[in-house]
Amino acid sequence: MLAGPAAGQMIGSLHTHTIVASDTLVDLALANDLGYGEIAAANQGVDPWLPRPGTRIILPTAHLLPAAPQSGIVINLSDQRLYYFPPGEPPQSYPIGVPTPEVPLRTGTTRIAAKRPNPTWIPTASEHAEDPDLPAAVPPGPDNPLGAFALYTDWTAIVIHGTNKPYGIGRRVSHGCIRLYPDDIERLFRQVQPGTQVTFVDQVAKAAWVGATLYLEVHPTLDQAYELETTGKFTPQPIVGLDSLVLEAAVPYEEEVDWHAVDQAARERTGIPTPISKFRDMASALGPR
């Protein structure tokens, strides 16, 4: 979980790790409460299964908050993270697993309709069609893909739940639901009550001032993230509306935007908050905001 007071619109802080012989990116993601997709995007070119010992990698443990109401739960599909805004407390963030490429993605607002510990999993008709050997229901236990806790939304078949396959976090693996690591869903489950607002957004780019510095965070699209996972690289795509997003965030200092840094962040899509101010020490350059 990322937590602590948000500095401006950022939660958490970046860390690094030096690879040792036993490391894989998959295990490091699990150990640092990261999704596989975000650690792979932040360290493109590093072999996820056999990273070279001595390589210094980035642990992408800092995120700009999505442009969404800072209330209840906000799920940003593109950065594959869930943000929770407990009333009167600092925001929290958790890595998630999201639907497979075959499942249509949905954005909008719903709410938590019910919460159940030790849920029974009832496969949908489409899941039975995909695997006719599935039982009618799977009781609580190690074979239950919902894990030990489930938050049911008002949207049909959209559940925020744990998992018995933690290596799927940060991947496109679900049939429509949102998966969290077992420890993360337990923590979230104990805080969230029925009626909590849940907002789904799909924002590949986020921009905001953090103190006196303007930051831009750009993620692969979900299709690019899937391509990165399966091939080790992704096909470049333009980001519609990026310039407008940056200029809107930069107000009233639009002339201070470093467009070279913007272009580089958009091209690389590492998911790492990147300074895009011409002056890194904006407080000295521009005076108090």
| Cis-peptide, bond into residue 99, ω within 30° of zero | no
The string over 120-156, giving b where at least 16 C-beta atoms fall within 10 Å of a residue's C-beta and e elsewhere, is: ebebeeebeeeeeeeeeebeeeeebbbbbbbbbbebe
Kindly list the catalytic residues.
161, 177
Phi then psi for residue 216, to 5 deg, are: -130, 135
| CA-angle at 141, arms to 136 and 147, nearest 5° | 90
**In this structure, are residues 256 and 214 in contact, taking their beta carbons and an 8 Å threshold?**
yes
The string over 204-215, giving b where at least 16 C-beta atoms fall within 10 Å of a residue's C-beta and e elsewhere, is: bbbbbbbebbbb
Mention every residue, 6+ apart, whose C-beta is less than 8 A from residue 35: 29, 80, 81, 95, 96, 97, 169, 170, 171
| CA-angle at 78, arms to 92 and 120, nearest 5° | 65
Q: CA-to-CA distance for 257 and 214, rounded, in angstroms?
A: 8
